[in-house]
Amino acid sequence: MAKGAQTREAIVDTAVEVAFRVGLGGLTIGELARQRQMSKSGLFAHFRSKEALQLAALERARETFVDLVVRPALSAQRGEPRIRELFERWLACARDGSPGGCLFVKAATEFDSQPGALRDRLAQDHQDLFDTAAQVCRSGVSVGQVRRDVDAEQFAHDLYGVMLSFYLAYRLLADPAAETRARAAFEALLAGVRT
Protein backbone atom coordinates (compact mmCIF):
# COMPACT_ATOMS: atom_id res chain seq x y z
CA MET A 1 0.00 0.00 0.00
CA ALA A 2 1.34 3.43 -0.95
CA LYS A 3 2.23 5.85 1.83
CA GLY A 4 -0.62 8.21 0.88
CA ALA A 5 -3.13 5.35 1.10
CA GLN A 6 -1.70 4.25 4.45
CA THR A 7 -1.99 7.80 5.76
CA ARG A 8 -5.59 8.02 4.56
CA GLU A 9 -6.45 4.71 6.24
CA ALA A 10 -4.91 5.89 9.52
CA ILE A 11 -6.84 9.16 9.27
CA VAL A 12 -10.11 7.28 8.73
CA ASP A 13 -9.43 5.04 11.74
CA THR A 14 -8.86 8.12 13.90
CA ALA A 15 -11.95 9.76 12.41
CA VAL A 16 -14.12 6.84 13.56
CA GLU A 17 -12.70 7.09 17.09
CA VAL A 18 -13.23 10.85 17.21
CA ALA A 19 -16.75 10.61 15.75
CA PHE A 20 -17.56 7.93 18.33
CA ARG A 21 -16.77 10.49 21.05
CA VAL A 22 -18.11 13.71 19.54
CA GLY A 23 -20.53 12.54 16.84
CA LEU A 24 -20.21 12.81 13.09
CA GLY A 25 -21.27 16.46 13.24
CA GLY A 26 -18.43 17.19 15.66
CA LEU A 27 -15.91 15.52 13.40
CA THR A 28 -14.02 18.36 11.78
CA ILE A 29 -10.92 18.52 9.66
CA GLY A 30 -9.34 20.82 12.26
CA GLU A 31 -10.01 18.44 15.17
CA LEU A 32 -8.84 15.45 13.20
CA ALA A 33 -5.68 17.26 12.06
CA ARG A 34 -4.95 18.03 15.71
CA GLN A 35 -5.55 14.39 16.70
CA ARG A 36 -3.29 13.11 13.89
CA GLN A 37 -0.72 15.90 14.42
CA MET A 38 -1.08 16.96 10.80
CA SER A 39 -1.71 20.28 9.14
CA LYS A 40 -5.29 21.05 8.14
CA SER A 41 -4.21 21.44 4.53
CA GLY A 42 -2.45 18.07 4.62
CA LEU A 43 -5.55 16.38 5.94
CA PHE A 44 -7.83 18.31 3.61
CA ALA A 45 -5.83 17.00 0.65
CA HIS A 46 -7.00 13.47 1.51
CA PHE A 47 -10.74 14.27 1.71
CA ARG A 48 -11.51 17.67 0.17
CA SER A 49 -14.55 18.22 2.40
CA LYS A 50 -15.93 17.56 5.85
CA GLU A 51 -18.72 15.49 4.31
CA ALA A 52 -16.24 13.27 2.46
CA LEU A 53 -14.41 12.72 5.75
CA GLN A 54 -17.67 11.90 7.55
CA LEU A 55 -18.70 9.48 4.81
CA ALA A 56 -15.30 7.75 4.99
CA ALA A 57 -15.66 7.39 8.77
CA LEU A 58 -19.16 5.99 8.35
CA GLU A 59 -17.95 3.49 5.74
CA ARG A 60 -15.17 2.32 8.07
CA ALA A 61 -17.65 1.96 10.94
CA ARG A 62 -19.86 -0.12 8.65
CA GLU A 63 -16.92 -2.37 7.69
CA THR A 64 -16.07 -2.84 11.36
CA PHE A 65 -19.66 -3.70 12.28
CA VAL A 66 -19.93 -6.17 9.40
CA ASP A 67 -16.66 -7.81 10.43
CA LEU A 68 -17.57 -8.01 14.14
CA VAL A 69 -21.28 -8.81 13.91
CA VAL A 70 -22.76 -9.62 10.53
CA ARG A 71 -20.21 -11.95 8.93
CA PRO A 72 -19.76 -14.14 12.02
CA ALA A 73 -23.55 -14.33 12.48
CA LEU A 74 -24.08 -15.36 8.87
CA SER A 75 -21.40 -18.03 9.32
CA ALA A 76 -23.37 -19.65 12.14
CA GLN A 77 -25.71 -22.55 11.50
CA ARG A 78 -29.08 -21.45 10.11
CA GLY A 79 -32.01 -21.10 12.44
CA GLU A 80 -31.81 -20.32 16.12
CA PRO A 81 -27.99 -20.55 16.28
CA ARG A 82 -27.70 -17.82 13.62
CA ILE A 83 -30.31 -15.64 15.31
CA ARG A 84 -28.52 -16.02 18.63
CA GLU A 85 -25.13 -15.29 17.08
CA LEU A 86 -26.46 -12.07 15.54
CA PHE A 87 -27.93 -11.00 18.88
CA GLU A 88 -24.85 -11.91 20.94
CA ARG A 89 -22.40 -10.19 18.62
CA TRP A 90 -24.58 -7.11 18.26
CA LEU A 91 -25.00 -6.94 22.04
CA ALA A 92 -21.24 -7.25 22.57
CA CYS A 93 -20.59 -4.53 20.02
CA ALA A 94 -22.93 -2.13 21.83
CA ARG A 95 -21.84 -3.20 25.33
CA ASP A 96 -18.13 -2.93 24.60
CA GLY A 97 -18.51 0.44 22.92
CA SER A 98 -17.18 -0.58 19.55
CA PRO A 99 -17.05 2.62 17.50
CA GLY A 100 -18.16 0.58 14.51
CA GLY A 101 -21.49 -0.19 16.14
CA CYS A 102 -22.33 2.72 18.37
CA LEU A 103 -21.54 5.36 15.77
CA PHE A 104 -24.63 4.36 13.79
CA VAL A 105 -26.96 4.95 16.74
CA LYS A 106 -25.40 8.31 17.52
CA ALA A 107 -25.38 9.43 13.91
CA ALA A 108 -28.96 8.32 13.25
CA THR A 109 -30.39 10.80 15.71
CA GLU A 110 -27.88 13.45 14.71
CA PHE A 111 -28.70 13.34 10.99
CA ASP A 112 -32.25 11.96 10.81
CA SER A 113 -33.72 15.26 9.66
CA GLN A 114 -30.78 16.60 7.67
CA PRO A 115 -31.17 15.74 3.99
CA GLY A 116 -28.02 14.85 2.13
CA ALA A 117 -25.46 12.16 1.44
CA LEU A 118 -24.76 11.41 5.12
CA ARG A 119 -28.40 10.89 5.98
CA ASP A 120 -28.88 8.77 2.87
CA ARG A 121 -25.86 6.60 3.74
CA LEU A 122 -27.04 6.19 7.33
CA ALA A 123 -30.54 5.28 6.24
CA GLN A 124 -29.14 2.66 3.86
CA ASP A 125 -26.85 1.22 6.54
CA HIS A 126 -29.73 0.90 9.01
CA GLN A 127 -31.98 -0.58 6.31
CA ASP A 128 -29.27 -3.10 5.45
CA LEU A 129 -29.14 -4.19 9.09
CA PHE A 130 -32.94 -4.49 9.22
CA ASP A 131 -32.77 -6.60 6.05
CA THR A 132 -30.03 -8.78 7.52
CA ALA A 133 -32.05 -9.44 10.67
CA ALA A 134 -35.11 -10.29 8.56
CA GLN A 135 -33.06 -12.65 6.39
CA VAL A 136 -31.63 -14.36 9.47
CA CYS A 137 -35.23 -14.91 10.63
CA ARG A 138 -36.24 -16.28 7.22
CA SER A 139 -33.27 -18.67 7.28
CA GLY A 140 -34.76 -20.04 10.50
CA VAL A 141 -37.99 -20.72 8.63
CA SER A 142 -36.06 -22.57 5.93
CA VAL A 143 -34.69 -25.06 8.47
CA GLY A 144 -37.95 -25.45 10.38
CA GLN A 145 -36.90 -23.64 13.55
CA VAL A 146 -38.99 -20.51 12.97
CA ARG A 147 -42.72 -20.66 12.25
CA ARG A 148 -43.71 -20.15 8.61
CA ASP A 149 -46.30 -17.51 9.52
CA VAL A 150 -43.73 -15.23 11.20
CA ASP A 151 -43.37 -11.78 9.67
CA ALA A 152 -39.58 -11.54 9.26
CA GLU A 153 -39.68 -7.76 8.91
CA GLN A 154 -41.59 -7.48 12.20
CA PHE A 155 -39.03 -9.76 13.83
CA ALA A 156 -36.24 -7.48 12.55
CA HIS A 157 -38.10 -4.42 13.84
CA ASP A 158 -38.56 -5.98 17.28
CA LEU A 159 -34.94 -7.13 17.48
CA TYR A 160 -33.79 -3.64 16.49
CA GLY A 161 -36.00 -2.26 19.25
CA VAL A 162 -34.39 -4.56 21.81
CA MET A 163 -30.94 -3.42 20.72
CA LEU A 164 -31.77 0.30 20.71
CA SER A 165 -33.37 0.00 24.13
CA PHE A 166 -30.30 -1.83 25.41
CA TYR A 167 -28.02 0.84 23.97
CA LEU A 168 -29.90 3.64 25.71
CA ALA A 169 -30.26 1.82 29.02
CA TYR A 170 -26.65 0.67 29.09
CA ARG A 171 -24.82 3.67 27.63
CA LEU A 172 -26.96 6.66 28.62
CA LEU A 173 -28.75 5.50 31.76
CA ALA A 174 -25.94 3.25 33.07
CA ASP A 175 -28.63 0.75 34.10
CA PRO A 176 -26.88 -2.26 35.66
CA ALA A 177 -29.81 -4.44 34.58
CA ALA A 178 -29.68 -3.33 30.94
CA GLU A 179 -28.09 -6.51 29.62
CA THR A 180 -30.33 -8.75 31.71
CA ARG A 181 -33.39 -6.94 30.40
CA ALA A 182 -32.16 -7.09 26.80
CA ARG A 183 -31.55 -10.81 27.13
CA ALA A 184 -35.02 -11.35 28.60
CA ALA A 185 -36.59 -9.34 25.77
CA PHE A 186 -34.61 -11.30 23.19
CA GLU A 187 -35.63 -14.65 24.69
CA ALA A 188 -39.29 -13.58 24.65
CA LEU A 189 -38.94 -12.49 21.03
CA LEU A 190 -37.32 -15.78 20.09
CA ALA A 191 -39.91 -17.83 21.97
CA GLY A 192 -42.62 -16.02 20.03
CA VAL A 193 -41.25 -17.11 16.63
CA ARG A 194 -40.00 -20.59 17.47
CA THR A 195 -41.79 -23.60 15.95
Per-residue HEC secondary structure of the chain comes to CCHHHHHHHHHHHHHHHHHHHHCCCCCCHHHHHHHHCCCHHHHHHHHCCHHHHHHHHHHHHHHHHHHHHHHHHHHCCCCHHHHHHHHHHHHHHHHCCCHHHHHHHHHHHHHCCCCCHHHHHHHHHHHHHHHHHHHHHHHHHHCCCECCCCCHHHHHHHHHHHHHHHHHHHHHCCCCCHHHHHHHHHHHHHHHHEC
For 40-62, write each residue's pLDDT tens digit.
Answer: 887 778 888 889 889 999 999 99
Q: With a cut of 80, say whether residue 4 has pLDDT above it.
A: no
Q: Output the pTM of the full model.
A: 0.91
- Per cent of the chain over pLDDT 90 is 62
Q: What is the pLDDT of residue 46?
A: 82
Quote the pLDDT of residue 101: 65
Q: What is the average per-residue pLDDT within 92-100?
A: 82
